Structure 1
Amino acid sequence: MTASPGFGNHLVCLSTLIQRRYAQICAEHDLTTAQAQLLCLVKDQPRGMTELAQLLGLAKPGLSGLIDRTERRGLVQRTSQNNDRRLCTLISTPEGKEIGDALYADVAARLPEMFGHLSPADRCTLEKLVDAALHEER
């Protein structure tokens, strides 16, 4: 079965709406979307630079700049293993974890509100379809 010709365009429009809402929520927490994504990735566990680059889809120079800016705000910190600066791990500071947790909760509560006009059954169906699509991408 093929999708209707406008389906791809509808997906792009939906993506734009979600990104816009996400950016608004991030701004309310005084974060860029990139800083928010970084905080959510390290709020509960340390992550290495290679893993972060892959998860965020960034080249190492771009990731380093993002980390530098976020570190200057006191939200994350680099740790070295065995005093080898090449083996750097990023961890959340207590303030970064607090902001990351608050952002995560806010996103979890407010993004689904975009679909509040749907019936409970339709929302459930949408959730299952999104889960299936994400599972397929992994």
Structure 2
Amino acid sequence: MQQQQFIIEELNENGPIILAEIHTNEHTFLYNKNKQQPSLYKKARLLIDTGASISGLDKDLIQLLQLPEYTALAQVEGAGGLVQLKKYRCVLYLPIFLQKGLPLDIVEGNFQQTPYQGILGRDVLQFCHFEYSGPSGKYILKAINF
């Protein structure tokens, strides 16, 4: 199986940022990838956050895509303690996944004051090999078993 890798050179003071596609559901993802015609999806800049157990998106992006919302809230522990956040379903596509999309539960966040629209947590990174090359100052992200 061919392993794809992506070298992340876009860094800010918070860390590495990768460009991803956020699709409303599996149907819109497959339609876009197979028909090569636009469907409702958005590109989003996501900060890779190895400390986050779950990925999150900005609430405005969630509303724009009208992502399906779960009735139960997600409990997330952060620097401020345990919080309950709204949880949604989407399909995430990264270039390293080739033609595959990852169905994903995400939490709602407010990222309007940041240079990114969400975070990529360990729920996605479990399908990747992620490394930092200190001498070159670059991060490398590879898909594994995907």
TM range (shorter): under 0.3
Higher relative contact order structure (alpha carbons within 8 Å, sequence separation ≥ 6): 2
Give the TM-score taking structure 2 as reference length.
0.22
Give the TM-score taking structure 1 as reference length.
0.23
Larger Rg over CA atoms: 1
Larger helix percent: 1
